[in-house]
Amino acid sequence: MSDKKITIALDGFSSSGKSSMAKWLAKQIGYVYADSGAMYRAVTLFCLQNNLIVNDVIDEEGLKKQIGNIRISFSTNAENGLQETYLNDVNVEKEIRTLLISNYVSPVSTLKFVREALVRQQQEMGQKKGIVMDGRDIGTVVFPNAELKIFVTATPEVRAERRFLEMQEKGDAVAYEDILENVKKRDYIDQNRAESPLRKADDAIVLDNSHLTIDEQREWLLKQFEEKTR
Query: Footprint of ligand DC on this chain (CB under 6 A)?
Result: 14, 36-37, 40-41, 105-106, 109, 135-138, 186, 190
Residue 37 Cα distances to 2, 47, 136, angstroms:
30, 16, 8
DSSP label at residue 204: P
Looking at the Cβ atoms of 7 and 14, the one nearer to ligand DC is 14
Looking at the Cβ atoms of 105 and 131, the one nearer to ligand DC is 105
Counting runs of H as helices and runs of E as strands, what totals does the chain give? 8, 10
User: What gap in Å lies between CA 89 and CA 73, rounded to an integer?
Assistant: 8
Looking at the Cβ atoms of 187 and 229, the one nearer to ligand DC is 187
Q: Please give the full DSSP string across 85-116, using - where no structure is assigned.
A: EEETTEE-TTGGGSHHHHHHHHHHHT-HHHHH
CB of 173 to ligand DC, least distance (A): 20
Phi-psi region of 55 (alpha: psi -120 to 50; beta: other; left: phi over 0): left
Looking at the Cβ atoms of 162 and 186, the one nearer to ligand DC is 186
CB of 140 to ligand DC, least distance (A): 10
CB of 36 to ligand DC, least distance (A): 4
CB of 133 to ligand DC, least distance (A): 8
